[in-house]
Structure 1
Amino acid sequence: MSDYVIGLTGGIGSGKTTVTNIFSKMGIDIIDADIIARDVVQKGRLTLGLISEHFGDHFILPNGELNRALLRQQIFSNNDDKSWLNNLLHPLIREEITLQASSSKSPYCIIVAPLLIENGLTSLVNRVLVIDVNESTQLSRTTARDSNSEQQVQAIINSQVSRQVRQAHADDILLNDSCSIEDLTQSVSQLHRQYLLFSARVNKQ
């Protein structure tokens, strides 16, 4: 079990996946909140039936899977529905994150969650690492990667906490506006050495 947990977050297009992949190559267990969020609404899960009851059968695809695009559109335009869905899914996601963290075998583990701060997951971690970029970088990266319009990406950015709020919650900030993969790897290596020291101190207590 990892007694030391890092919470990694950042806005859309900040490079969270690239950074977590580097940590993973260094032997660190990664707990991905987005993957867990997809798993808890898989075909056959009770949660999928509850979503169908609340929103309607048309939110389920003919193959029995969740129509994620339609659900995403619904909760972006309706705060009450967003709150209902969050109240259903967040306890399940939190429970699975806790379970995976307790099962981790690496010296420390990382919970990567775009909404780490918004969803109160900071209470599960010892330290918060923010992957930080400016808004223009978020827009350019995400429109190129996902073929979304700037308006769509801006709506996602606006739905997340501001850059300033993330920085205020951060114990560590990794600037990733124009880093080469070599520079990024070097920065992650420095953080890795620091986290190994922190985890060793906790384990001695």
Structure 2
Amino acid sequence: MSHVIGLTGQSGAGKTTVSRIFEENGFSVINCDEIAKICTQDGSECNKKLAQVFPGCFDEKLSLDRKAISKIIFSDKNMLKKFDDIVYPFITQLIMDKIDELSTTSEFILLDAPTLFESGTDKLCFVKIAVVADFEKMLDRITLRDKIDKELAKKRFASQLSCDFFKKNCDYVIYNNGKLSDTVSDALKVIRIIKEDINGKEKKT
């Protein structure tokens, strides 16, 4: 039996770093950003539906202009909801297909999902983990990583669930503010606790 672990948090918190630590310790990782890219690849069924609502963000090949659509959805919550309502069902189905595929060989599956709660995929998870960091650190990370200005980055943060929400609604919190060694240490502690908890429950059944 496979156990799905949800990993989430705001942009720039360091989920990729933490998911890599989990992968190095026996977890199969599903990267939901990569799943989203598959859903929105050129000419996809998802893009066909998106193009009806965001026609200016697509060319004749139904190729998505990610920067153009980001400016729209991160500035208007109503448009963000329309985007989410179209995209999430496609993403969720691919995630469930991937979980089924991995469950034949993997005991532990990590769902690296920035929008774990918004998409409803938190319901698939045995436990949920939040990765958090100071706002300025996250801001610096995503402006550098995504090559966007700070104003657009702040709009992105405003469209996301808050750090406090993740702390309140997740079972574990990993802080990623300082040295990598500290983040690794915290992640390893969570991994150990999760595996001990799962093994303990399995022995009782």
Deviation at 1:182, TM superposition (A): 2.4
**Contact 1:131–1:176 (CA under 8 A) maintained in structure 2:** yes
Cα separation, partners in 2 of 1:124 and 1:42, compared to 1, 3 Å: same
Structure 2 counterpart of 1:122: 122
Deviation at 1:30, TM superposition (A): 0.8
Cα separation, partners in 2 of 1:77 and 1:151, compared to 1, 3 Å: closer
Deviation at 1:134, TM superposition (A): 1.8
Normalized against structure 1, the TM-score is what?
Answer: 0.87
Structure 2 counterpart of 1:66: 64
- Following the alignment from structure 1 to structure 2, what is the Cα–Cα distance between the partners of residues 133 and 169? 16
Structure 2 counterpart of 1:190: 189
Deviation at 1:18, TM superposition (A): 0.7
Deviation at 1:11, TM superposition (A): 1.0
- Following the alignment from structure 2 to structure 1, what is the Cα–Cα distance between the partners of residues 123 and 107? 20
Deviation at 1:26, TM superposition (A): 1.9
**Contact 2:30–2:98 (CA under 8 A) maintained in structure 1:** yes
Please, which runs of 5 or more residues in structure 2 have no aligned partner?
Answer: none
Cα separation, partners in 2 of 1:101 and 1:154, compared to 1, 3 Å: same
Whether 2:51 is the aligned partner of 1:45: answer: no
Counterpart secondary structure, 1:128: strand
One-letter amino acid of the structure 2 residue matched with residue 114 of structure 1: P
Whether 2:93 is the aligned partner of 1:95: answer: yes
Cα separation, partners in 2 of 1:68 and 1:80, compared to 1, 3 Å: same
Deviation at 1:166, TM superposition (A): 0.9
Cα separation, partners in 2 of 1:176 and 1:95, compared to 1, 3 Å: same
One-letter amino acid of the structure 1 residue matched with residue 91 of structure 2: I
Deviations 1:142-199 (A, max 9, x none): 2333333222221111111111111100110111111x22222222222222222233
**Contact 1:143–1:149 (CA under 8 A) maintained in structure 2:** yes
Deviations 1:73-110 (A, max 9, x none): 22223434322222221111111112212222322111
Matched ranges for 1:170-185 at <5 A: 170-178=170-178, 180-185=179-184
Larger displacement relative to structure 2 (154-163 or 99-108): 99-108
One-letter amino acid of the structure 2 residue matched with residue 153 of structure 1: A
**Contact 2:51–2:62 (CA under 8 A) maintained in structure 1:** no
Q: How many residues align?
A: 202
Normalized against structure 2, the TM-score is what?
Answer: 0.87
